Each structure stands twice: as structure tokens, then as C-alpha cells.
Amino acid sequence: MSHARPRVDAMKSARPGPTRTAPPRPPDGFPGARASAVGAVPPGREKLRSYLAFGFGGFFLMSVSLLVLRAVWALGNGEAAWSRVQASLQNPIYVIFHALAFVWLSWFVLRLFRLFPATQPRRIGPLRRPPDAVLVGGLSAAFVGVTLALAAILSGALG
């Protein structure tokens, strides 16, 4: 059976040994990797797909940042400019975009919060790191709180 797979250039030695070697293969689930002998989707492939999708989600972050910059620019250019920005945000395309951006942001923060405890040292200053559940719960509660507060402000219920 042929074992043709895309090559990667990983983990080669700076001083090649005397033995001829086969080139490294990418991890299973990498784009372009062949299907496994045990099924079309080997275990782990879904995780790499979600990782790649997560990376692609940076598109939303960049786009939302540009929109925020545009809003800030409008604020500095008078009420008419600000009104134009507000009117443009009523466009269904913007509404759909923001709905997608919100879904992605929620996914992003939940993934980040789940991984967050491992990124903290065992001692933070003189204190021991709180239990993982406390960190994840605290961050999640803060995210929900800030989201609800922003939604209330933007909808006019507050302020």
C-alpha cells in the first residue's frame, strides 16, 4: 500500500547522519494528510480542525477592531459622522457579522478560560495559585457580567 503523504521539514538534524531517512510526516489531521487506515476521520483530527478554525477566527477580531477604529474616528468628526456610523450598523450584513463575531468571541473566551489556569505559575506573588475551577469560574462569570452590562448599555436599558 502506498504511503504517500505531504512532507514536512520538521525535526531534521543540523548534522544529517549516515543513514538515509524517510521524510517526516505531518501530524494526522493536518490539512492534506491522507485518511487513516482505521477510518476517514482519525481521532484528533477534529481537534486540529477546531484549532485551525480558532486561528481563522482572528479575522473577526481584526474586522471588529477596524469597525471600532471607524467608530472612534467618527466620534472625533462630529455628530453627523457618528450618526452615519450608527445608521450603517443597522445594515443586515453588519448585524449578521456581529452575530457571528459574538459566537466566535464566546468560543474564543471559553477555550481561553479553559486553558488559562495552566498558563499561571504555581505561585502568584506570595500566594498559591487558586484552584483551576475558581479561575475558570471567575473568568467566565466576569465575561458573562461584562457581556450583559454591554448589552444593557447598547440597548438603552442602562444609562
Partner 1 sequence: MAETQTKTIVVTRFDPDRDEAPRQQRYEVPVEPDWKILDALNYIKDEVDPTLSHRWSCRMAVCGSCGMNVNGEPKLTCKDPVTGYGDVIEVAPLANFPVIRDLVTEMEGFMERLQKVKPFILRAKELAVEAGPTRQSPAELDDYRQFSMCINCMLCYAACPVVANEPDFLGPAAIALGHRYNLDTRDQGQGERNEIFRDDGGIFSCSFANECSRVCPKHVDPAGAIQQAKLRNVIDWVTGLVRRREEGVR
Judge contact between 135 and 127, C-beta under 8 A: no
C-alpha–C-alpha distance, residues 147 and 152, integer Å: 9
- The C-alpha atoms of residue 136 and residue 76 are separated, in whole angstroms, by 38
**Helices 45-56 and 92-115 meet at what angle, rounded to 10?**
130
Return d(Cα 47, Cα 29) in angstroms, integer.
8
The site map against partner 1 for 100-139 (x = CB under 8 A) is ---------------x--xxxxxx----------------
Nearer to partner 1, 26 or 147 (CB): 26
- Report the length, in residues, of the chain: 159
Q: Nearer to partner 1 by C-beta: 2 or 155?
A: 2
Of 71 and 139, nearer to partner 1 (C-beta) is 139
Enumerate residues 19-78 that contact partner 1 by CB under 8 A: 19-30, 36-38, 42-45, 47-48, 51, 55
Q: How far apart are CA 74 and CA 87, in angstroms?
A: 12
Stretch of 7-15, 69-77, 86-94, 137-145 contacting partner 1, by CB under 8 A: 7-15
Please state the closest distance from residue 36 (CB atom) to partner 1, in A. Answer: 5
Segment lying near partner 1 (by CB under 8 A), choices 9-17, 67-75, 81-89, 96-104:
9-17
Helical pair 58-75 and 45-56, crossing angle rounded to 10 deg: 20
Q: Taking a C-beta distance cutoff of 8 angstroms, is the pair 55, 95 a contact? A: no
What's the closest the beta carbon of residue 122 comes to partner 1, in angstroms? 5
The residues that touch partner 1, with contacts defined as CB under 8 A, are 1-4, 8-15, 17, 19-30, 36-38, 42-45, 47-48, 51, 55, 115, 118-123
